[in-house]
Amino acid sequence: MIEAETLACSEACAGEPLAGTASEATLFAALAWPKARWHADKPALSEGLPPAVGELGRAAKRAGKQLQLRLFDRGAAAASEGVEVVCADFAAGRTLAARANDAEGAAALMAAFVAGETAGPPLAAPLVLVCTDGKHDRCCGKLGRSLFAALRGRLDVAEASHLGGHRLAPNCLALPSGRLYGRVGANDVGGLVDAILHDRVYLPCYRGRSGLAELAQVAEAAALARFPGARGAELSSDGKRVRVALSDGELERRLEVECAQEEHLGIGSCGDAEPERRVRWRAAAVRVV
């Protein structure tokens, strides 16, 4: 019998599908903060951050939206240039890339963005955040650092706090698209870099597009697997069926994806003694309409 403390969640959950595991939150806000000061579970409670950072999630909730709040670290050189802020509204297609003098100013920038204001210039080029949060889970720390090293120099990349789904590590989030990737191995790096630079989906590691519901994420991934060259996708659902319109320039294809639920068993985090059951959507049939 394997001792609980030796279990790696990324190995124990290797059979669980990636599609449909991105965050459904439509708002994203992150600020640069030294990794040594990150909180193990809740970014807003990290050492030195003002209470205003914690208020961001409550403000989004009052507006009827969900917010992903994250921290990232570019290293000591960048830290001396103020506090960098990166935000995205995946539903509206808005982004923000700005700097503040301090954490209070960064919180004010993020609050303005969450409220729907134009708080500064948009993100001008793709940014990739790689989860290396070993305080949260050792798979993210070990596997994430290797992925970060492999991507550095090929993309604009930074280390990030927990992105969700450490059992699917290593994970990275591409901005401004909101596409989340998991289980990115050494052989995937070249294809992933090329896809991000050309605003396309790298299907072998695709977890889903942030801001969509799980069912829609699964359907989008299945449709793109059928026609991998497409760039954009519009989705509408009717129960277990999702209609997907794929476009690539003037070419458009319409598909219907029928989904079903299935159960997966695996530990949620490294060291968990008992496995947990997860009910997940999967694509059962894809038809061209």
C-alpha 93/C-alpha 107 separation (Å) is 21
Whether the predicted pLDDT of 134 surpasses 50 = yes
120-132: average pLDDT: 96
Choosing from 62, 89, 114, the residue where a domain stops is 114
Whether the predicted pLDDT of 210 surpasses 90 = yes
Whether the predicted pLDDT of 182 surpasses 50 = yes
Whether the predicted pLDDT of 124 surpasses 70 = yes
Sheet holding 94-100, edge to edge: 94-100, 83-89, 27-32, 67-73, 157-160, 127-131, 172-175, 179-181, 206-209
Are residues 42 and 12 part of one domain? Answer: no
Position 62 confidence tier, pLDDT thresholds 50, 70, 90: very high
275 or 277, higher pLDDT: 277
Choosing from 91, 114, 137, the residue where a domain stops is 114
Choosing from 79, 114, 149, the residue where a domain stops is 114
Q: Is residue 119 part of a domain?
A: no
The pLDDT, as a whole number, for residue 249 is 76
Q: Is residue 64 part of a domain?
A: yes
What total of structural domains would you count in the chain? Answer: 2
Position 240 confidence tier, pLDDT thresholds 50, 70, 90: confident
Q: What's 240's domain CATH number?
A: 3.40.30.10
Q: Name the residue range of residue 58's domain.
A: 27-114
Are residues 132 and 105 part of one domain? Answer: no
145-163: average pLDDT: 96
The pLDDT, as a whole number, for residue 231 is 78
Are residues 196 and 106 part of one domain? Answer: no
The pLDDT, as a whole number, for residue 44 is 96
CA 171 to chain CA centroid, Å, is 8
106-123: average pLDDT: 95
Are residues 148 and 58 part of one domain? Answer: no
The pLDDT, as a whole number, for residue 3 is 44
- Mean pLDDT of all residues belonging to the chain: 91
Q: What is the pLDDT of residues 187-197, one digit of tens each?
A: 999 999 999 99
Whether the predicted pLDDT of 78 surpasses 90 = no
The pLDDT, as a whole number, for residue 180 is 98
